[in-house]
Structure 1
Amino acid sequence: MKSWKHAALLVGGLGFSHLGNWIYFVAINIALLELTDGSAAAMAGLFVIRPIALLLTNFWSGSIVDRTDVRKLMVLTDVVRGTLMLFIPFASSVWLIFGLLFLISLAGSFFGPSQSVYITKLIPAEDRQRFNSILGMSSSGAFLLGPALSGLLIYRFGTDFSIYFNAATFFVCALMISLLPAVPRLEGTAREPVTLHMLRADWGAVRSFVLTAPSFLAIYLLFQSSVIIGYSIDSQELTYIKQHLKLSTEQYGFIVSVTGIGALAGSFTAALLAKRISWRWYLGPATLLTCIFYFLFYLSHTFFLAAAAFVLLGFFMSYAGAGYATWFQKQVPADKMGRVASLADAAQGALQIGLTLAVGGLADGLGLQAVCLFFSAAAIVLGLFLSIKVLGQNPSKPIA
């Protein structure tokens, strides 16, 4: 990789931020679980904050992303998120906590599309599959180390300290990204204000792109639908472990940790095999296997079966994530990527909100295990169609 120094700095900054996110994630889940007496609906509420924020901003945020210095935008959003995070320990109610998390998610809605654009412009096309796998490995390492470190920090200093630590990681990530070079932006529009006329033109450009790429739309819908289902039943993971499997908080922490081991192993092998195995195998079959192990987790009745299912889930999820990122970077022009990603995320957010709330509500009324098994089975069907679509395409032709 020619720009390995820049790539290492980017992976380091994002990886450190991911570490803080996992430390915070465990802390906020435990705090809210205790505060609400384990309400499935309340836990689902935590998981819909981000998609609501995406829904409100992503119709117009892509227009800003494609017209600004994405490096500076990533730095700004990290600083804003870190500052807001510092106020969470002072919040005195669940609704105030949700409000702060909502504002953090609003700022973060600019980061994801900016990151995709920046990676596409900074990393050469031939190196992206390997880079995405390495980035996934740093994320998996954070997934592995974060919950364990969070448990130690919570035990020694309490949940507030874990949240402060997450705020600090945002500032460190902002510093590391600020050391990276700027990349070209959309020419001739750097100072153009965002207007309704501009938004309509941008929406039209995205619509034209999608209509001329039906295979892109089909693959996107199949992959994201399976991911959204996984995310919605993820919101019940802790509740299932504590109430159905009757496991302790320590055992929950262990399951999360071994999932991280699986994800780290998956990312490591995905990076090693990036030059030998097509991203198609990463995107299709790996997504299908991820969905299968979601199903097996909610079918499990013992600690060991649940842990084994999550190890393998983490392993194949790493391949799926790297495959999807590489496919998206191949299919979407860099000068449209911010708008395409943002509008797609807005639609995804709407579906995610409804599905996550539906899972939480149905779980309270019909039983957690039955509901999660039904939705994970639906994800398996989508994963199967995705594999057929991706692998059935002639490798000599573009997929979109």
Structure 2
Amino acid sequence: MFLLRTNRTFAKMFAAYGLAAFGDYLDLIAVSIIMGFVWKVDAMTMALLPLAFAIPGIALSQTAGILADRWNKRNLLIAADLIRAALTIALIFAPNVWTLLGLIALRSSARVFHFPAQQSMTRSVVPADQLLQAASLNGAVFQLSKAFGPLIGATVAAAFSPAVCMGVNAICYTISALLLLSVPLQRGSAGTRQPESMRTAWRDGWLIVLRTRLLLTSISFALIGLAGIQLVDAQLATLLREVTPERPELIGWLVSSIGAGGLVGVVWLRRFKRLSSYGWPLGGGVTLIGCMFAAAGCFQPDTPLWFILLSSFAGGVGTGFTSVGMNYIVQKETPADAVGRVSGIMESLSGVLFVGAPLAGGALVQLCGVSPAFLFVGLAIGIVGISGIVLQRRLWSLPSPVAKSDTVLGQAPDLPG
């Protein structure tokens, strides 16, 4: 917590980010309740809900990244929060499902502009030797929001109404904006002159990714891990229904175990000041994700509960490693005036996977069965992850040497005396 005590600007950003991240997941269940139980929409219309959340990221993330590098980042974050608050209030009064989906798409579009601005501003207000701590803190609050946001939202929606849940969400976004408003305006300034043409800025962002081996390799590994998760994640209920149909509660335990593992992975990385090699957090994280799915492919009706939960926990640790490691690498290895663009590129590629990978995973399950699909995907991802660890000196150039007083991942800490 040293960073939060000594850097007031980041502390305010962290609190605002926590509220905004919590809001992103708070009314997720409330919207599903309205569509599924109040309006009783058909399955095809229900399938449009995740698309309304994901497609704006594919379409707008790279533009948002360019603007995050050009505009005042603090003001961009405030505008995104206030727009989301207004659209969330509008959701309460949506008269039909099509209006609701349209408002969700618009709100998701505002969220797209939040992420690269957050990443870019973090780089500008946090010293280089504290970037890993900042990425770990943001990763921890994201994991907590992802785990508890839907749970609390569902509880509020059930105890009161979905409208109350949406109202609480709007308040979260508004408080986030007010916290950012107390940050000095100059802390969010662009700092350097940007190219005049949007097309030039977009091209330069891609050239930075394609010509920087550290970034290109790291993004590739992060996307491989994400692709594996999205390929079979949606089929988890299908797997458990086939293997242990009499234990439907297992899906909740698995999700909780993965979330707990993710939080532990994020917190563990906070022990270090820097990463001396990127193969361990990214290659290791992808390996753990692969092991989780390969183990799931071996589940049987008599598989011990401890094995199921332990493999899920290990996979969660892997997701924590890859998410925090990737955020740190983008902030550390990207030029300061291009963090927004590189973050936007990463988000747009992730959005494509969120839409396409579940469809490919469904086809794979139809082709070879659910357990073989989990086993195949897990082994393939695990092999890629192990290769990243073994070949890390070839795949990643090592960062510059660190001071002896630094504690780094991938290098043994100095011993006293």
What is the deviation of 1:230?
1.3
The CA distance in 1 between the partners of 2:174 and 2:128, in whole Å, is 29
Q: Which residue of 2 aligns with 1:332?
A: 334
123-132 or 356-365, which moves further after superposition?
356-365
| Match of residue 226 from structure 1 | 225
Question: What amino acid is the match of 2:188?
Answer: V
TM-score (norm 2): 0.79
Partner of 1:285: 284
Find the counterpart in structure 2 of residue 110 from structure 1.
113
Residue of structure 2 equivalent to 1:263: 262
Q: Deviations over 1:88-120 (max 9, x none)?
A: 344465544432222112111111111110111
| C-alpha displacement of 1:64 | 1.5
One-letter code of the match for 1:85? T
**Structure 1, residues 188-232: CA drift from partner, whole Å, max 9, x if none?**
45xx9xxxx712211332243234323432331232132133134
Is the Cα–Cα contact under 8 Å of residues 288 and 317 in structure 2 kept in the other structure?
no
Q: Look up the match of 1:321.
A: 323
Are 2:15 and 1:16 equivalent residues in the alignment? no
Letter in 1 for 2:271: L
Please name the residue that 1:74 is paired with: 77
The farther-off stretch of 344-353 and 366-375 is 366-375
Query: What do the CA deviations read for 1:120-175 (whole angstroms, capped 9, x no partner)?
Result: 11110100111211222222333443344234324312444333332322222222
State whether structure 2 residue 378 is matched by structure 1 residue 380. no
Return 5+ residue gaps in structure 1 as ranges.
none
TM-score (normalised: structure 1): 0.82
Contact 2:235 2:362 (8 Å CA) reproduced = yes
Higher relative contact order (CA 8 A, sep 6+): 1
Kept after mapping to 2: 8 A contact 1:44/1:356: no
Unpaired segments of 5 or more residues in structure 2?
402-417
SS in structure 1 of the partner of residue 189 of structure 2: coil
Distance in 2, matches of 1:379 and 1:20, equals: 32
Deviation at 1:5, TM superposition (A): 2.3
- Cα 1:119–1:396, aligned 2, differ >3 Å: closer, same or farther? closer
| Paired position in structure 2 for 1:350 | 352
Instruction: Report the count of equivalent residues.
Output: 390
Contact preservation (8 Å) 1:259, 1:313 = yes
Provide the secondary structure at the position in 2 that maps to 1:185: coil
Give the 5 Å matches for 1:188-199: 188=193, 198-199=197-198
Give the root-mean-square deviation of aligned CA atoms: 3.5
Question: Quick check: which has more Rg, 1 or 2?
Answer: 2
| Match in the other structure for 1:57 | 60
Whether 1:146 aligns to 2:149 is yes
Q: Using a 3 Å threshold, how does the CA distance of structure 1 residues 364 and 111 change in structure 2: closer, same or farther?
A: farther
- TM-superposed CA distance for 1:389, in Å, is 4.5
CA contact (8 A) 2:276 2:399 kept: no
Describe the superposition over 1:74-96 as per-residue Cα deviations: whole angstroms up to 9, x where unpaired.
11111112222233344465544
AA aligned opposite 1:230? I
What is the rounded CA distance, in whole Å, between the counterparts of 2:300 and 2:263 in structure 1? Answer: 25
CA separation of 1:371 and 1:172: change in aligned 2, threshold 3 A: farther
Q: Which amino acid counterpart does residue 202 of structure 2 have in structure 1?
A: W
Q: Distance in 1 between matches of 2:241 and 2:207?
A: 48
Query: Percent of aligned pairs with the same residue?
Result: 22
Tell me the CA shift for residue 67 of structure 1.
1.0
2:190 to 185, 190, 206: 185
State the distance in 2 between where 1:247 and 1:28 align.
29
Contact 2:279 2:388 (8 Å CA) reproduced: no
- The 8 Å contact of residues 139 and 323 in structure 2, kept in 1 or not, is answered as yes
Is the alpha carbon distance of 1:201 and 1:25 closer, same or farther for their aligned partners in structure 2, counting shifts above 3 Å? same
Which whole-Å CA distance do the structure 1 matches of 2:165 and 2:367 have between them? 34
Is the deviation greater in 281-290 or in 23-32? 23-32
Question: What is the rounded CA distance, in whole Å, between the counterparts of 2:246 and 2:157 in structure 1?
Answer: 19
1:79 counterpart letter in structure 2 = L
